[in-house]
Chains A and B, each alone.
Chain A
């Protein structure tokens, strides 16, 4: 797709990548509204990204490989991360509906070389923790809804670099 997959399209593909599903199961798995799911599925059928056997929607193995290559390209990932960040910021600053499960913290600080080593070691520990989470036995995991997954973002850069990137048009 020319302008990349939207988050709602991506989550439906992720859901179908776990196995064929009826529209009802997709709604349960993703937590999206029924009319939205119906429309996205209609578009994906039209684009031949997915198939329908009269009962369930599914993705061909070949199509899935093509989609995965597209979905994991750096441009596509960039758009996904931007969309996730936008949502995270919007949800966090939505004063009407503060969610306990959403946190967002940004810190600007000066960092000595010793402290930088400590920080990098903390980041490394975080990454190791996520690798371990992925490796945990998947007993009953398949039954968990995709929409119940948690999203955690982290990053580190120089203030100057980010400001200079902002200046670029």
Chain B
């Protein structure tokens, strides 16, 4: 799979199936150009970087939240840690159901 296809697929998943207008507003790329890119036209390097940077930014924000959580570590109250554990397990189960290479043994 080409790098362009991978980055676009990741982008669509990360931003929950955005519309062409939303992608255009997030990336600053004209909507007609977005339409062409989504339909397989080859991306310019600067366009690839815009998509990549938005994905990295989202990943950084998530890591930052994760770091804050790890900072509290074992001091999380039981109620909160139980809620987070349950929510994480359930969301991961849903994520696993949505992946093409689903493996039932991975789920708890």
Contacts of A39 in B (CB 8 A): 96-98, 102, 104
Indicate whether A8 sits within 8 Å of B97 (C-beta atoms), given known contacts A42-B102, A43-B104, A169-B80. yes
Shortest CB distance B87–A (Å): 9
Interface string of A1-34 (1 = CB under 8 A from B): 1111010100000000000000000000000000
Contacts of A36 in B (CB 8 A): 97-98
> Which B87-108 residues have C-beta < 8 A from chain A?
89-90, 93-94, 96-98, 100, 102, 104-105, 107-108
B104 & A46 in contact (Cβ 8 Å cutoff): yes
B86 & A4 in contact (Cβ 8 Å cutoff): yes
Contacts of A42 in B (CB 8 A): 102, 104
B97 & A3 in contact (Cβ 8 Å cutoff): no
Q: Which residue of A lies closest to B22 (CB)?
A: A96
> For the complex, is B77 an interface residue (Cβ under 8 Å from A)?
yes
B94 & A96 in contact (Cβ 8 Å cutoff): no
> For the complex, is B40 an interface residue (Cβ under 8 Å from A)?
no
Contacts of A96 in B (CB 8 A): 19, 22
> For the complex, is B79 an interface residue (Cβ under 8 Å from A)?
yes
B90 & A2 in contact (Cβ 8 Å cutoff): no
Indicate whether A3 sits within 8 Å of B108 (C-beta atoms), given known contacts A96-B19, A169-B80. yes
Q: How large is the interface on B (under 10, 10 to 19, 20 to 34, 35 or more residues)?
A: 20 to 34
Rounded to whole angstroms, the CA-CA distance of A6 and B80 in the bound complex is: 20
Contacts of A107 in B (CB 8 A): none
> Which A128-169 residues have C-beta < 8 A from chain B?
168-169
Give the contacting residue for A43; candidates B77, B89, B107; CB below 8 A. B107
Contacts of A79 in B (CB 8 A): 86, 90
Contacts of B97 in A (CB 8 A): 8, 36, 39-40, 43
Interface string of B67-88 (1 = CB under 8 A from A): 0000000000101100001100
Can you list 30 residue pairs at the A/B interface with Cβ under 8 Å?
Answer: A3-B85, A3-B86, A3-B89, A3-B90, A3-B93, A3-B108, A4-B86, A4-B90, A6-B90, A6-B93, A6-B94, A8-B94, A8-B97, A35-B98, A36-B97, A36-B98, A39-B96, A39-B97, A39-B98, A42-B102, A42-B104, A43-B97, A43-B107, A45-B104, A46-B105, A79-B90, A96-B19, A168-B79, A169-B77, A169-B80
